[in-house]
Structure 1
Amino acid sequence: MLEDMRLFATIVEHRSLNKAAERLNLSQPALSRRLARLESELEIELFRRIGKRLELTAAGQVTYEFALELRRFHGGFLQKLNAYKSTEAPLATIGASLTTLQTTLPDLITAITEQHPNLEIKAITGKSHEITTLVKERKVDFGIVASAVIDDPAITSLPLFDDHLILVLPRSHILLERTHLEMADLHGLPMILFAPGTWYRTMTDELFRAYKLKPDVRMEIDSFEAIIRLLSACRAGTLLPRSYLREQVLLDNDLYLVRIRELEETNRTTSIIHGDPAWLTPSTRFLIEETKAYFARRANQRNE
């Protein structure tokens, strides 16, 4: 049926058996026989013969529309099938939690696209449980979330790196006149915090409750970059994931990292998650392996 529809559509588009036969590299009698056989199978005339001219019947028009739809469907099928034959994909869709989007995804995308300049990457953001759902529904190729998914048999969760919170202060902050800071020093401290709803803010609030701290929260913002840029102007501190705080970010904003033992114990594992391995295309498996290798290299560099 697929081949017959292809021949039929070619006849319609060339409006001539002779021209269509030439395009299809068939003889005109052979093409005529194929058309007659199709009409016999469908038990209806597809063309009216007006001299040497062919004119579609109403049934022929419906059949032509079906042939076009079949052509589009077949093309899409072949395109998807081809992804299982190659490790090079034209498009990758990554799901990322909001924290991950700001802390780790930019550098990862830069590294991947440097290796694969023709690759287009689409990122979909959401809360970790939302990204997990997208992975299960195969709406993203894989996800990167600041957690581990261990209670869902439909999800494979692989750790990438551990992260923890760290206190960030402007270099001119009065607290830095002291040689040692403790959790108690956060009580009453003017702070700019991330907006509620992420693992990072949830962990921050849990810390405050556990140590009975009430910082002076001046702002709640859903952008790490905005928080960083406002700290000096507001003479405030913040708690941020260590993974976000590159040296250049600190230098550009005249900030200082303060080590507090209890904060370093706030470990959170960022993981890559994907669905049933049987559904992964070679290109997706390849990108997953490259992502794991990228974070392994970063870990080795930090340990050197």
Structure 2
Amino acid sequence: MNRLYRTFVVSVESGTLVRAAAALHVTQPTVTRQLQQLEAEFHQPLFERTGGRLVLTRSGEVVYRTAKRLLALDDKLREELNSLANPEAGTVYIGAGVTPAIHLLPGAFAMYRNLHPGVTFHLRTGSSSDVDAMLSAREIDIGIVTTVNPERADLVAKPLYKDDLLLVAPPSHALSTRSAITVSDLQGYPIIVMQAGSGLRRLVEDLLESRGVQLLPALEVDSLEAINRLVQFGFGISFLPRSCVRDDLDAGRLAVIRLMDEPPASRTITMVYRAQGSLPANAERFAEELPRLF
């Protein structure tokens, strides 16, 4: 039908069958035949043929307005489909945890855009479970998570970055001046922790419990960035990912407390995407290059 609609619209706007045939690069009998097919489809005349010119009937005016909208939508659809097949154009939809979104992805986006200026990004933030849900709903192409859902066998998971956990405190804290301590030395010191149920909270609890240290939460917070600021203001010490505190360590706003009896724990920043169904070309190219950018 789109072919008939296009012939009809071009004929109306050209004014004559001769001009319409020239614009469409077909013969005049072909144009006449397609217009007759469209009239047969609707069982109504669409033109009053007067003096060689095409004059629309009332039915023809209705079809013309609708056909213009349908052809515009068809053109838009084709443009969007073409962009999905073009790795150098269109938007890549990303879901990520707040820490990678703030501290790791901006640099990767900037480097990628320098190489592929036609590609743009749409970034949504949330917990690993939120990103998992976005993937299931096909709201994003790629997820960047700290915890991969073990039940999602339908996902491809590619590690990107090992994010070490550091025990940090204000530079003036009593433990900051010591060259190294043991985990047992933390007994009695208030610790700022993520809310219960988070992956980071479980890592901290397991570490302390393995050394018989009772956790004394100074505060429970749902944001690593908020914990960072609270530590700087002396509310307690905390275990935070290196990516979250790197700039503050360099600026002297935080200090690392070294644990001599415990190897550094870490979180792995992982890229995930659906295994079934191909990624758009731009997202596939980005997924290929992202490990190198990280």
TM-score, normalised to structure 1, is 0.79
Contact 1:48 1:57 in 2 (8 A): no
Cα offsets for 1:253-281 (capped at 9, x unmatched)? 43211222566453332211111264123
Question: 2 CA distance for matches of 1:231 and 1:47?
Answer: 78
- For 1:36, the equivalent position in structure 2 comes to 36
- Whole-angstrom distance in 2 between the partners of 1:113 and 1:205: 40
Instruction: Give the partner amino acid of 2:2.
Output: L
Matches within 5 A, 1:35-114: 35-49=35-49, 52=53, 54-58=55-59, 61-62=62-63, 64-65=65-66, 68-84=69-85, 86-114=86-114
- The 1:42/1:263 distance shift into structure 2, 3 A limit, reads farther
Shift of 1:125: 1.8
Residue 228 of structure 1 is matched in structure 2 by 228
Question: Match for residue 175 of structure 2?
Answer: 175
Rounded Cα–Cα distance in structure 1 between residues aligned with 2:189 and 2:8: 77
* Structure 1 unaligned blocks of 5 or more: 296-304
Equivalences for residues 145-156 of structure 1 within 5 A: 145-156=145-156
Partner of 2:274: 275
Change beyond 3 A, Cα 1:149–1:30: same
Distance 1:180 1:128 in 2: 33
Q: Distance in 2 between matches of 1:264 and 1:190?
A: 22
The answer on 1:141 being equivalent to 2:169 is: no
The 1:232/1:268 distance shift into structure 2, 3 A limit, reads closer
Structure 2 counterparts to residues 215-294 of structure 1, below 5 A: 215-218=216-219, 220=221, 222-224=223-225, 226-234=226-234, 236-246=236-246, 248-260=247-259, 264-276=263-275, 278-294=277-293
Match of 1:126 in 2: 126
Q: If the length of structure 2 is used for normalisation, what is the TM-score?
A: 0.82
Instruction: State the secondary structure of the residue aligned to 2:233.
Output: helix
Aligned counterpart, 1:204: 204
- For residues 72 and 238 of structure 1, the distance between their equivalents in structure 2, rounded to whole angstroms, comes to 54
Q: What letter matches 1:266 in structure 2?
A: A
From the superposition, tell whether residues 106 and 187 of structure 1 become closer, same or farther in structure 2 (CA, over 3 Å).
farther
- Cα deviation digits, residues 238-264 of structure 1 (max 9, x gap): 210123332x43132432112225664
How far the C-alpha of 1:286 sits from its partner, in A, is: 1.4
2:186–2:213 Cα contact (<8 Å) kept: no
Moved more, 42-51 or 134-143: 42-51
Residue 250 of structure 2 aligns with an amino acid whose one-letter code is: L
Q: Percent identity?
A: 26
2:7 corresponds to: 7
Contact 2:194 2:224 in 1 (8 A): yes
Q: Deviations over 1:33-88 (max 9, x none)?
A: 4312321344332334566452243476257425622541353145324422x321
Deviation at 1:289, TM superposition (A): 1.2
Return the alpha-carbon distance in structure 1 between the equivalents of residues 104 and 263 of structure 2: 19
